[in-house]
Amino acid sequence: MKLAVTGKGGVGKTTVSALLAHAFKSAGHSVVAIDCDPDSNLLACMGYPHPENVKPLVELHALIEEKMGVKPGTTGGMFRLNPFVEDIPDRYAVEIDGIRVLVAGAVKKGGAGCYCPENSLIRALISHLLVDEKSDLVLDMEAGVEHLSRGTIRTVDALLIVVEPGLRSVETAIRVRDLAIDLGLKRVIALGNKIQNEYDVGFIRKAMQDIELVGFLPFDVHIREAEIAGRPVASASEQMRKAIHDVVTAIEAKTAKLS
């Protein structure tokens, strides 16, 4: 399963990414998770003790030069279009509960920056992991829609839009969906998060129009507490573990049905 987790800022993308990575691992799969948000916090969410000590890939200058054949920041120059990236997870991932976690880092946006060697290396790595059948892939994306237009995640099995009860998160979800369809993504699915009651469920069902919902996660104070205490969200509560298990089952059913 190859998933990109997206949605409005603060809806729970990173929390959901961590929960999904653990659920796939518990099902016996090999899992790679990549923090693709420049404002990275996936490691912290997974309970990694000193996330600030992990240098993002785009800041590993020797690696960029080794793989791309040019120094980081080079623009307009010639660098490798198909760098060898298969060894990067083994060499640079942090292992948390058997899940390999990579931090992409802040990639320059727009204009010439998009074609710098750092961006190209991250794109090549994600493209490789998207076709690598040996492991599941969970991509914790940055908020909003802008990253989608770069096309890196076009071949995910599903784009998972996290939505919380509230108009703004729904508006972003609809924009993400529209852009994803324009870009030719195969499957767009949505997950309701921070659900407090039946009213929230009804609101999201109605607001998401024709976007397929794969379930709902409760608002759970243990998630907040785990986050604040630096403990892994995946072991924060039994109700959340069960809820994410049901979500994984629904995602598998939907993606199998559509393939």
Binding site for ligand ATP (CB under 6 A): 9-15, 37, 143, 193-194, 217, 219-220, 223-224, 227
**172 touching Mg ion, by CB under 5 A:** no
- Kindly give the pairing relationship between strand 158-163 and strand 188-195: parallel
- Smallest distance from ligand ATP to CB 143, Å: 4
Please state, in angstroms and rounded to a whole number, the distance separating the CA atoms of residues 132 and 25: 16
Binding mask 47-76 for Mg ion (x = CB under 5 A): ------------------------------
Measured from the CB atom, the residue of 11 and 211 that comes closer to ligand ATP is 11
Stretch that binds Mg ion, among 6-14, 23-31, 70-78, 104-112 (CB under 5 A): 6-14
9 binds, options Mg ion, ligand ATP, none, Cβ within 5 to 8 A by partner type: ligand ATP
Backbone angles phi, psi at 70, to 5 degrees: -140, 165
Measured from the CB atom, the residue of 73 and 230 that comes closer to ligand ATP is 230
Question: DSSP states of 111-157 as a string?
Answer: GGGGGSHHHHHHHHHHHHHHH-TTSEEEEEPPSSSGGGGG-TTTT-S
**177 touching Mg ion, by CB under 5 A:** no
CA distances from 133 to 20, 32, 39, 106, 118 (A): 18, 12, 29, 27, 25
- Smallest distance from Mg ion to CB 240, Å: 17
- Smallest distance from ligand ATP to CB 69, Å: 33
User: Which 8-state DSSP code applies to residue 87?
Assistant: T
- Rg of the chain on CA atoms, in Å: 18
